Amino acid sequence: MAVVTLPEAHRRTPAGRTRARGAGVPLSGTPGPWNAITDVAGVEVGYRTLIRGHGPLVVGEGPVRTGVTAIFPHGRARANAGAYAGFFNMSGNGEMTGMALVDERGRFDGPITITNTHSCGLTRDVTARWLFENLKPGDKADQPFWMPVAAETYDGSLNDINGHHVKPEDVVAAFDDARSGPIEEGSVGGGTGMRCFEFKGGSGTSSRVVDHAGERFTVGAFVQSNFGRRRLLRVAGVPVGEEIPLVDTSPPPDYGSIIGIVATDAPLMPHHLRRVARRSAYGISACGGIAGNESGDLFLAFSTANSEAVETHEGMITARYLGEGAMSAIYEATIQATEEAILNSIFANETMTGRDGFTSRALPIPETQSIMRKYNRFIEVS
């Protein structure tokens, strides 16, 4: 069998955790240099991870397994900058603030935060205060207030979610941590206490490059994955979830959710971006997700292009955008990047024990590789 050589950033996270490609999973499409949402120029991601305490749950004390993720479309240097955007709600048992504005005006301003269900309002409010405090001359010409984007998934099986352990300083720490380049995955940031297909889940990312009409564009996806039954898990089409025996005899309630963020430097208008956001759902389906009744599956797509047009409030405005002929390639890249981001959130992870001694086990990679070989869907990598 031929050995495929992969860049180090495609094989492992900065902390050395194995990503899906590094484990030999055959995935379609061409990633960017870091195979991350940060391959879209200007996008920066920061984390604040909170892990402390063990044993029985004491509300207000712990154990704590949670955090905050921050995504800046134009980096911290342009923290207040806006972006054209589109939203899709596949299953609405969740929250993503600011979507009325996205629906009405096709844009949002400032960073996106992702955290646990009961800290979503706090991260939203802290973002508004932080943006005001960091306002620079010439920023925010259209309206003197903010409607930040804050999203959530539920981490209560591992975390003292009712203890409200995410504090304002944790949100600011996530902002301060924002960076480009390779980013960590798994149990970090808002994804710290999450589960996916009854394995340890959390934060994951991937990207794809698209060539069209002599230009190259990048599509990047970031997910906070917290959904799915084990038996439904598919890895590159292989029914891995059916092949791995259950360890937990009583599966958790179907309270899981996923937040998906798609970024691109392709010049797209809000109506295009709504369509892109919808395609994230296909990436979930490729992994076996069904958008269960108790699930909140919410997706936001944004473009970093046309920033001057977004920021201009008066007079005639000119914006550049791709023709309809390019959209299918953008859709395909979105689906592929979302699928791989979900798989990375599971592969690049470790077993975690949280409240009341509950343990969420990591996907067993050697066993998964054996299953992939059985179905002739494994590749040797170096």
Catalytic residues: 257, 295, 297
Q: How many helices (H) and strands (E) does the chain have?
A: 9, 16
Looking at 110-213, which runs of residues are DSSP E strands? 112-116, 149-153, 195-196, 199-200, 203-212
User: Cβ-count burial of 240 within 10 angstroms (0-12 exposed, 13-18 middle, 19+ buried)?
Assistant: buried
How many Å apart are CA 84 and CA 108, to the nearest integer? 7
Closest C-alpha to 200, from 226, 169, 223, 170: 226
CA neighbours closer than 13 Å in the CB half-sphere of residue 110: 26
The token pair that represents 88 in the structure block: 């899709």
How many Å apart are CA 342 and CA 205, to the nearest integer? 7
Write the DSSP string, 204-262: EEEEEEEEETTEEEEEEEEEEEE---GGG--BTTB-HHHHSPPS-SSPPPS--EEEEEE
How many Å apart are CA 107 and CA 268, to the nearest integer? 12
Sheet holding 149-153, edge to edge: 44-52, 64-72, 112-116, 149-153
How many Å apart are CA 223 and CA 189, to the nearest integer? 11
| Torsion sign, CA atoms 348, 379, 218, 289 | negative
**Looking up tokens 């950033």, which residue turns up?**
9
**Greatest CA separation for the chain:** 63
* DSSP assignment letter at 307: H
Write the DSSP string, 275-301: HHHHHHHHHHHHHT----TT-EEEEEE
